[in-house]
Chains A and B, each alone.
Chain A
Amino acid sequence: MNSKKIMLVPLDPVHDVGLKMIRRGLDEAGHETVLLPPDLPVEEIVQEIYNSDANTVLVSRTLGYGVAEILARLVDLLDAMGIRHRVKLGIGGMAIRPELAAELGFDAGFGPGTTVEEAVAFVEGREYKGASFRAGKTKHDITQGHSYAYRHDGIKEKLELIADMVLSWAEGKTSPGVKRAAIRDELWDVQRWRNYEQMTDFLQEYPAHCGELAQNFYKKGIFHPKTRRFTREEAAGLEEYVRRTREEMRVPKLQHSRTKPLVFNQYGTGCPFMDIAHIKVSEAWGVDGVVHFDPSWGARTEGLLDGFLTHQEDGTVITPANLNRIKLALEPSTLWQVRAHRGLNTPETVVLAGQIGADLTKINICYGSLGGGTDPARMTVDAVWAMRYAAKYGLPFDVVTNEELCGVPAYKAFAGMLITTAVGVRLGARPILQPLFCYSPEVMVGLQMQDNYIEFNAAKVMALGQIIDAPIWPGAPVGFLTQSEDRVQSSASTAFHASLAALLGVDGVTIASSDEAYSGGPISVPSKIDTLRAVGEGFRFFGKTSLAPTKDMEIWRDQIVTGIEEVLTKVAEKGDFVQALYDGVLGSREDGAYPGRNGKDTVFPL
């Protein structure tokens, strides 16, 4: 490489520290540098350049009104004197961006965050490739590297026993949900559907196993009162929107020097068009995965609707066409989770998500039964089948513990999560543990978070790590009940919780948008950007710093592990997992958990 001659020009009265850092880098790289005194008049600087044989000039100047004109004049003088073509010109400083550099007539602009290496690359005429974490984005398997090996013998023994119990209980049982899933799996084919082929067999069989709402849709063409089909123009508009957005789409990374956690963001405005816009924004601001939220009535409805439908309230209806449109709009690197977990369509949602091409789903028996409103027996038989389909379609699923938000203590919720996990592993599926990072009723009363939000959340992750080598994906979203209607507070809280997840080395994290807790309606795009930016800054701030265990973390970790084992012992002693759910062993009425009633008495012998 040829040695370059660089003139460093601090136009600012005082701020030349950046240039001094760059000078050190250039000197170390074997280049010859001359640093001019700060704040010389433009004419004098031009004269210095004219009299020198410098081939690169790096100027530093903080921007303010009127400064742009001074910088432009410097460039103009060099051009008019016929020396502009022999020097490469770079400008750096606060508020400097490539667009501004272009406007001023420079060859490159370096704003805050510019590395010395970047400046050296410019001088040497090399393309700056940056560190690996800035390179191209690919889709990651969140479960990679986990063996699902148990690390706690006592808990392993009990979970194996309970998994046997659950599977033998579900053996020979079915439900309308299980039947619809089988019909969807056997008679509905995504390729034929995409080719507009008639699914006569499917349509003959399917409606008979649906509830009134879906039957009215298939037999009488009656829509759910808060849904309607998109018009042709709207559909064409969406296609055009996606096409145009793709033309300019970039997918940056949020992570700084760590590769984990993958960051997920939720969508579900009710309108798939708006969802897609939200997804594109999330992708453009660095999200790794997106999570589909369906309406709450979807969980209580037997059967899925069809068609490209918009819904006038929160939650986007799960239909083949809606999911397909969303799938087609995703960037190739984006992980896509379609939640199945809590309602009467759990196994069928897994089948449909698998066929359409989702990457992840969500299944949990205990939360679905105790906080999600579904009858425990129905939830159990449906979830067992859902996990079989998740294994068949290669969909890892998270096992969420949202019953904590009802007031169920973490150790009980974790016991339920681990039971679902054990059953899933037995069925060949890849479950993901999803502890909440939240300010739960348990800690509000028990004061574990009176001082900080770190130690109890860390204890949860440490406890799970002592029990099993499984992927951990705190959610959903992290910081639940810590966020307020103040968007700055909300973003900061989310960023701190996501950073905690990074320090704990977990695999994924779901984050809220800053107006999510108090949106009073659909989440807004700016609020998505708020938290994604904040989380990115959090990752940058903490880098690879480690978190040292504290005494309280260890105490709470041990209490959680002990509590889990005690709960599992009680379930095992009861000899009937489903009965244990009804009886409150995994979360009682006193805790705030109520066995659901949706789908009650709909489990039948095969």
Chain B
Amino acid sequence: MISPRLAWLLVALGALMLVLAPIDLTGIGIPYPGLKRYGTYIMTLWLVTAIAAMGVNLIVGYAGLETLAQAAFVGIGAYVTALMVKAGWPFGLAFLASGVAAFAVGIMLGFPALRVRKHYLAFVTLAFSVLAWLVFRNEQWLTGGVMGIGDISRPTLFGHTLRRHVDFYWFVLAITAVLTFALWWIIRSPWGRAFTALRENPIRAESLGVDVRLYTLLAFAIGSAYGGLAGSLYAPLVEFIDPNPFALGPSLLFMLMVVVGGAGRFAGPFVGAAVAVLLPEWLRFAEGFYLLIYAVLVMTMMAFCPTGIMGLAERLLPARRRPTAAATAPLLGEAKP
């Protein structure tokens, strides 16, 4: 464990680096040319993916439920935004509507979770994922079917259009920061404690007054809303959407990101999304072998460190000293009152 002060310092440093990532710093004597157009696009995609993965981390990592439907919620957000923006609505409203729509559908998907858990629940969400994908593909009058929806314009902020990749990147970065803070707040609040209780022992939690049904629905709804909000940013990022990125495969990838990053660890989704989005780019030198290398890396990771990369980092960092060490503590019966 690192101290909270050091953790904050690392977060601030990381945020600064992310802000400066697309800027050419050679002018001020730092040998960093800044990200080019494609690099900035990939970084934006990483942020959008991390938002959706944060939602999965809430559902799976903190509340101990299962979801194989996050890509469907990203799809809901993307289509709601695309349709609203094309109909002339402002992006801000479309963004909120995407979150609300995913939240509402997330509550509905939460109801089966009140009855089944573990892999049974995973299959329920898997079925929903297929259903949503069929709607995206077949309801041509609404979604454009396999032809998708094109020319999705980027938002305008204070009269300034975010057409340039770098402007949109900063916009997404700011939204990611807000959503990250919001989830951090939820996790560290009594709600977060209730979600953890849900994961660790729902029967005991219920006996302590925790409304397990309500918190289950809330976990699904909030986690899915994060998917919807990510989708709302994804549509203007790629400017064209079709059903493929919202199919079952990408949903499995979101689950993989959370597990590889470290389920139930706050930074896990960012690390997991980096593995899923950035690593393939870095492995491009291997050309046709990159998927093979990627698969072997993931298998090795899961076999030797099931707690994910963040879990591995926690193991490698020296344990923080505690003022009272358990090993030297007297047995309870011998303790003085």
Whether A and B are associated in the same complex: the answer reads no
Interface residues of A, Cβ cutoff 8 Å to B? none
B residues touching A (Cβ–Cβ < 8 Å)?
A: none
